[in-house]
Amino acid sequence: MISFLSGEIRNIFTEKSIIEINVAGVGYEVVLPSFVMDDVVNEGKKSGENITLEIYYHSTERSPKPLLVGFNNQIEKIFFEKIIQVEGVGPLKAVSALIFPVAIVSQAIENEDLTILNQMPGIGARAAQKMIATLKGKLIDIISESRSANVKESADYLLRDEIIEILVGLGFKESDAIIKMNDVISNNPEIKDNLEEIIREIFKSK
């Protein structure tokens, strides 16, 4: 069982969300949830630099090739192990779905916030309800620890909720508000923390 890897970055494939790590001459291919890959990119990590990742190791008789999923810390790994306990959410689906940091997803589950959960790829209304039914009340420690580790993630969650609430109040459908908000933040990352600028850009592109 591999619990963590510490070594030199050989390659970073952002589109596939995969990182190759050279550990004492052995190459490991590690799949990263989008939010972890975002951290790698934002920190400016490059080939030749050292990195340490917590690893979730998965293999089955049907799929004997091991799947290594990488995380920044133990909190993220523990959350992943909890979310794959939800019926219909296996490791591969969970990796694809986790585009938001742990603090945001865990808080959304606790708040029964379908607005956030339904933005996750592959997580429809039914899967979101199962996540809430399975995990609500079981993530308090994770929410607390992840907030302590990164206060900004909690602020991002509150900002997104506030933007959606404002847009719905101005007559947008909730689904349209989510799409517009994500498009603007994706195309204008420099204003992602500025509520007024995001709202302004949404109306400019309307």
Q: Kindly report, residue by residue over 14-59, the tens digit of the pLDDT.
A: 999 999 999 999 999 999 999 899 889 878 899 999 999 999 999 8
Q: What angle do CA 59, 63, 67 make, to 5 degrees?
A: 45
Tokens of 21: 């790590």
Please compute the mean of the pLDDT values over residues 89-99 and round it to a whole number. 94
> So what's the pLDDT on residue 24?
95
155 pLDDT tier (thresholds 50, 70, 90): low
CA atoms within 13 A on the CB side of 121: 12
144 pLDDT tier (thresholds 50, 70, 90): confident
Q: What angle do CA 130, 132, 138 make, to 5 degrees?
A: 120
> So what's the pLDDT on residue 141?
87
Enumerate residues 6+ apart whose C-beta is below 8 A from 15.
none
